[in-house]
Every structure is written in structure tokens, then in C-alpha cells.
Amino acid sequence: MDQTDAKTKYFHLLAAQYPSVQDVCTEIINLQAILNLPKGTEHFMSDLHGEYEAFYHILNNCSGVVREKVDLLFASTMSESERSELCTLIYYPREKLKMTRVDGKNSPAWYRFTLQCMIELAKMLSSKYTRSKVRKAMPKAYAYILDELLHAQPDEDNNQLVYHDKIIDTLIGLGGGDAFIEALAVLIKRLAVDHLHIVGDIFDRGPRPDTIIEFLMGHHSFDIEWGNHDILWMGAAAGSEACVATVVRNSVSHHNMDVLERGYAISLRPLTLFAQRVYSAYDDPNEAALQAISVILFKIEGQIIKRHPEYHMEDRLLLDKIHYEAKTVHAYGKDWPMRTVDFPTVDPKDPYTLTPEEQAVLADLKNAFLESERLARHIRFLYETGSVYLCFNQNLLFHGCIPMNEHGQFETLFVDGNACKGKAYMDATERVARRAYFGDRDQSSLDFMWYLWCGSKSPLCGRIVKTFERMWVTDREAWVEPQNDYYVYCQQKASCRMVLREFGLFGDFCHIINGHLPVKVIRGERPVKGGGALITIDGGFCRAYQKTTGIAGYTLIFNSHGLRLMSHQPFKGKEHVLHENGDMQSQSEVIATAPKRVLVMDADNGHAIRERIADLKELMRIYQTEDLDGRV
């Protein structure tokens, strides 16, 4: 097909959608109006680490935005406890409605008042969107009524208001109040968060990463930047034995086997039986399993490191540096005392070879990962909706780092034998990650998935991960995990600008958004770095890390006015919210104010809309001067 044919075909398709001059005209006006609206609100979160309840609550309370708006609208007309009650109803409508029924509070007057408040709130939140967009965000069954109610214009005789009261009364009279409250709650939350970014690490440590994925599967608009823990699970699902062993090890070490066993139907029984037999010195079966899977892991890691000198990870080969009599390991020029050297399956002369039994355990585990249909569904979803990095509305999002050398330049690295750096390196790593799952799953791509999890030059990790030391070396000095120079240079504005430029982001109001590095607020660390050009939002949803961070997670919010950060206090659970109306406490801080209000025309989809307008104008010209095939 030559270009003229393609163009003709395209305009035929466009004409089918807009068959008359009037249709074209209406659409151009509509699109032009959209361009001048404020851009939609984006929320960013990262490092969720399986903490489904906290994640779900933050999505329900829209990172605290619902409460802010409720306070703004009703501070003078409702008491604080009434406002809290309303918020809880919006967060968990079904549960709260049930409680209201049980308490006998659900009188017609209660419904009327509650619905009016919710309509007010929905009106306020919808004011920055076109009517058409708001309509699309409404639950279908109620779209018509909601549309009517949200667009009430007070007239001289208050006719409209009377009409709307009638609608509400009829609804309540027909017993539809509950369903309508639920519909409004959905709409309110959807309007408050137009788009969600997850900057990595959904998996590991916490109880329910699988539920987070299921939730995201039903979410209206989001993207994911893969974290090292996500790529680890992706590698395991692709059949990398090292990734399988690491996932299992992480689950065992966090006493969190339910996700694997119940969530993904991956049985750990072969491992626990083997561990009970071979590591019988341990009374605690969990401890025995942890020893067993750790030894298996370090053996296969050793094999990978030897296969790939280009990973430069020889100093991670520690199983062959153990001094059994002295109970030490030799590393970084020193002998470090070890907690135990009782490794019944390690042959000191051939430490990296699995015993036949270990091989069998690992093969069973790997098969279970490969056979889990639910896992495959979740991992495909991560591939479909995720990437190593993303440029979105002038921001650059990635989980870890872009490897730099000690001079602060992008480090040249080899992927598939090709030298690359900066953006090209990020692209190359993503290509291998996709090949590892969708290609022929060759060993080298699978090994690279493991490298992406823990390599010091992996954009998802960027540090030397010391699992061996953290497991067995007593001196914590050996646990320190040196980081890539990116983390030094990203403190400087010039380096951040260099990174942004590499991705074609030249404007003044561009930011790097990272996860991965817990911000230790408790020690005075700040999430904003690089003279304001970089924001790290790993605030530790992960409960295991909250003692070191001092908070329970961040949400970064980017609306038409700029960027602000919400820092969240630990979540006390849904029951606490329902019974005490005790919301998660969140503090808001303005990080950067946009030089002028950011409109849709300034956002990425503004470009697409402008192109569409240009095409429609061309269609208009065609309608007025010739036919669709170009005949005058």
C-alpha cells in the first residue's frame, strides 16, 4: 500500500466516525475545549511489597485527597466526626452501609443528606474534566441520573433543584439509595485519581502481592515500572532457577509462604521435606527450609557468575571461601566469623554442584512455577502494562538507577555483546527481559533476569546485594551493600538534568521519579534530591522496613498546579477505619509548583489531541472541496 492509499483509507475510517461536516465541527470544538482544561491528576506509588491492605486503603482515600476535599467543602456545615463518617462511607461503601443499616441510621433523611454531600463532592472533583469524560467514568447503570445531578444549574425558580430533589427522593423511595451511594463512591474516587503510576516492587516481603495485581487488573488507568522484586518473579515464572530459588528464599525468610502456596498453588512441600531430613539439626522447620534453599541458591548463583564473567560478580563467590575449622569466610581481604558452617550438602572441593536431591527439589519448584496458571496470568499482565522506564508528562519514571561511572558519566555496558549506555542500555535490558519470557527462554536471557534482580549495574537494582553475608556473617559491617555511583551523582542537579536530557526531557519542569531506596525520614533523609529534580518515593509500605523509614509510604501527586508529596502513617487496618472512622493519617507537602497551570495541551495526550484536530480539519476540507477518494 503506498502512502496515498494509506491516507485515503485513513480518511475513510475517520469519515465513518464523523460522517458529516457538523459531526466534524462538534468534535473539533470538543477536543479544543479539552486542550484548555487542567491536566488530570496523576498519583505515584512505589515499593508496595505485598501490602495490599494499605495500598487498597490509599487508593480508596485517594492518598488523602478525598478527606481534603470533604474538609474544604463541609468544614463549616459538618462536624469533624460527621466528615470522617462520610469519608469512611466513600472508602468502603458496602461495609459502611451495612453498619448504617444495622445501627438503624439509614432513614430517608440520612440518605438524602448523604447523597447531597456526595453529589457536591463529585461536582467539585468533576469540574476539571469534560462532561463526556465524567460520563465515561460513571458506573453504567447510573450514568444518566448521575449526569443529570452533576450538572444542575440553579435557575430563577429553583426548578432544577426541585427536579433533582425529586430524582433523589424517587431513588430512595424505590430502595435504590445504597446502590446509588456505591455508584457515587466509585465515581468520586475515579475522578480524584485520573492515572496511577506504580514505580516498582509490588512483590516480596508482604502478604498479598497477588491481590494487588488482581486489583490493578481492574483499574481504569495506570502503568508499572518494574522493580527488582518484580523482575525476580518474572524471571522465576520464565523458568530461571536462580530466580525461583530467590523467590522461595524471600518467602521463607519472611514467613510468608501463603502467597506461593495458596496464592499461586506452588507447593513448598518438596523443599520442607528435604530440609527436615537434611537439616535435622534445626528444630524450627522454617529455619531448616531457609538453610536448605539458601545453600541451593548460592550454588546456582555461583554457576551463573562463573558462566558470565561479564557480570563481574566474582567477589560474590563465597561458598568456596569458607574456612570450616575456623568457622569464617574470606571476603574483601578479611576473615569474617560465620553463624554456622554446618552445610551438609556442600562439598568443599566442589561447592557449587547441587546434590541429586537438591537438583530434584529445585526441579520440582521450577515446574510448579512454570505450571502455575495464575502466576502466568499475573506475569503476562506485568509484561503488558510494565516497562523498565517510562516518560510520562515530562517526568522520567524508573525504579532503581541508570548506571554511572565514578565520574558521573553513563557507564558503558554490554548487553548481548553490544556496548550501550544511558537510554540505550535501559532499552537493551528491557529487550532481554521480554525475550526471557516471550522468546525461547534461552539460559543466557534467564540468567540476565537474575542479574536484573541483584546486579550492581542493573537499572532495577544498582547495588551489590549481600544475601550470603546477611544470612551467615555475624558482623553487620559485611552486610553493607555498596551502591552504584548514580546514587551519588543524583544528588546533583546537573546529573539529574543530564539523565532527563538523555530521555528527551529538556523542559524546566521535568523530574526523575524513583523508588527502590527507602527514605529514612527518621534519620532526616528527604525524598527530594538533585536540587529538586529527583524524587524518591520509597517510603516503606513494607512493614518490615517501617522501623527504619519512620513512615508508611509516600504518594506523589502531580496535578495541574504541580507536585506534592503525601506521606502516610502506618495503616491500622480496615476494621479500625470502619469502626472508628479512623483514617490513615497523611501529611501533605508541596514539592514543586508548576510555572503556570499545566493544561491538557501541555500534557502528552495534548499532542495526540492536537494531531487529531489537524486530521479533522483536513477531513473538513475534504468534505468541502472533494470526495473521500480525492476526486473534485
Ligand X SMILES: O=P(O)(O)OC[C@H]1O[C@](O)(COP(=O)(O)O)[C@@H](O)[C@@H]1O
Q: Is 227 in the site for Mn ion (CB under 5 A)?
A: yes
CB 280 within 8 A of CB 457: no
> CA distances (Å), 547 to each of 241, 480, 525, 571, in order?
33, 18, 14, 14
Q: Is 485 in the site for ligand X (CB under 6 A)?
A: no
DSSP string, 415-440: ETTEEE-HHHHHHHHHHHHHHHHHS-
Give SS3 for 403: coil
Nearer to ligand X, 205 or 316 (CB): 205
The mark string for 446-465 relative to ligand X (x by CB under 6 A, - otherwise) is: -----------------x-x
For cell 446509588, what's the residue?
180
Residue 63 CB, nearest approach to ligand X (Å): 21
Stretch that binds Mn ion, among 27-35, 155-163, 197-205, 410-418 (CB under 5 A): 197-205
Nearer to ligand X, 42 or 538 (CB): 538
The mark string for 232-261 relative to ligand X (x by CB under 6 A, - otherwise) is: ---------------------x--------
Residue 182 CB, nearest approach to ligand X (Å): 36
Residue 549's binding partner among ligand X, Mn ion, none (Cβ under 5 to 8 angstroms by kind) is none
**How many Cβ atoms sit within 10 Å of the Cβ of residue 212?**
22
- How many residues of this chain interact with Mn ion, rule: CB under 5 A? 4
Among residue numbers 228 through 247, which ones bind Mn ion (CB under 5 A)?
A: 228
Residue 465's binding partner among ligand X, Mn ion, none (Cβ under 5 to 8 angstroms by kind) is ligand X
d(CA 227, CA 585): 27
Residue 205's binding partner among Mn ion, ligand X, none (Cβ under 5 to 8 angstroms by kind) is ligand X
Residue 67's binding partner among Mn ion, ligand X, none (Cβ under 5 to 8 angstroms by kind) is none
d(CA 355, CA 135): 63
d(CA 511, CA 594): 12
CB 551 within 8 A of CB 539: yes
Nearer to ligand X, 460 or 598 (CB): 460
Nearer to ligand X, 39 or 463 (CB): 463
Question: Strand pairing of 395-398 and 511-514?
Answer: parallel
Nearer to ligand X, 15 or 464 (CB): 464
Stretch that binds Mn ion, among 37-45, 173-181, 198-206, 418-426 (CB under 5 A): 198-206
Nearer to ligand X, 114 or 546 (CB): 546
Residue 129 CB, nearest approach to Mn ion (Å): 34
Nearer to ligand X, 39 or 466 (CB): 466
Residue 485 CB, nearest approach to Mn ion (Å): 18
Q: Is 287 in the site for ligand X (CB under 6 A)?
A: no
Residue 271's closest CA among 253, 291, 255?
291
The mark string for 499-518 relative to ligand X (x by CB under 6 A, - otherwise) is: -----------------x--
Q: Is 470 in the site for ligand X (CB under 6 A)?
A: yes
Q: Which residues fall within 8 angstroms of residue 282, CB to CB, at 6 or more apart?
A: 275, 288, 291
> CA distances (Å), 147 to each of 152, 191, 555, in order?
9, 14, 30
DSSP string, 112-158: HHHHHHHHHHHHHHHTTS-HHHHHHHS-GGGHHHHHHHHT----TT-
Give the amino acid at 279. Y
Residue 568's binding partner among ligand X, Mn ion, none (Cβ under 5 to 8 angstroms by kind) is none
Residue 34's closest CA among 624, 626, 609?
609
CB 228 within 8 A of CB 256: no
Among residue numbers 194 through 223, which ones bind ligand X (CB under 6 A)?
A: 201, 205
d(CA 187, CA 461): 38
Nearer to Mn ion, 206 or 227 (CB): 227
Which residues make up the interface to Mn ion (CB under 5 A)?
201, 227-228, 516
Interaction site with ligand X (CB under 6 A): 201, 205, 228-229, 253, 463, 465-467, 470, 481, 516
